[in-house]
Amino acid sequence: MHGAEVLVPISFFLGIALIVKIVTDNRTRQKLIDKGMVDDKVKYLFRRGLDNPLSSLKWGMVMLGIGVALAVAELFPYISESTVMGLMFLLAGIAFVVYFFIARKQSDKTE
């Protein structure tokens, strides 16, 4: 067997295990918060992702940029892999910059 034939299944199952662990940890934390078994200082740490709804927008924009780069690679098969990688980083970077301006505008509205 080659290295890739072994690493792919191992990575897949480790990834699934990590996702299951994250989901169960978050559910446990949420139940502790709902029952009031955690003081206010710790509640902030558990809910910090929920306080920023723009976080989903940020990652959605980044994934959209990467998806566009991959779609361009499919449409134009003569483009080299390094160009596709560069395009992925470029579009993801643009998405982060656009998100920055959206988030700053949104924070100016709330203040």
State whether 59 and 20 are in the same domain: no
* Average pLDDT for 87-102: 91
Q: At what angle do helices 54-75 and 81-110 cross, to 10 degrees?
A: 160
* Average pLDDT for 48-63: 74
Q: Provide the number of structural domains found in the chain.
A: 2
Backbone region of residue 36 per phi and psi (left: phi > 0; alpha: psi in -120 to 50; beta: other values): left
State whether 67 and 111 are in the same domain: yes
State whether 30 and 56 are in the same domain: no
State whether 111 and 74 are in the same domain: yes
* Average pLDDT for 34-62: 69
State whether 9 and 40 are in the same domain: yes
Token digits of residue 106: 């949104």
pLDDT above 80 for 51: no
State whether 44 and 61 are in the same domain: no
Nearest CA-CA partner of 86 in 99, 100, 70, 109: 70
Neighbours of 79 (CB within 10 A): 15
The DSSP output letter for 111 is -
Range of the domain at 19: 1-51
State whether 28 and 75 are in the same domain: no
pLDDT in tens, 8-25: 778 888 889 889 888 888
The confidence band for 90, taking pLDDT boundaries of 50, 70 and 90, is very high
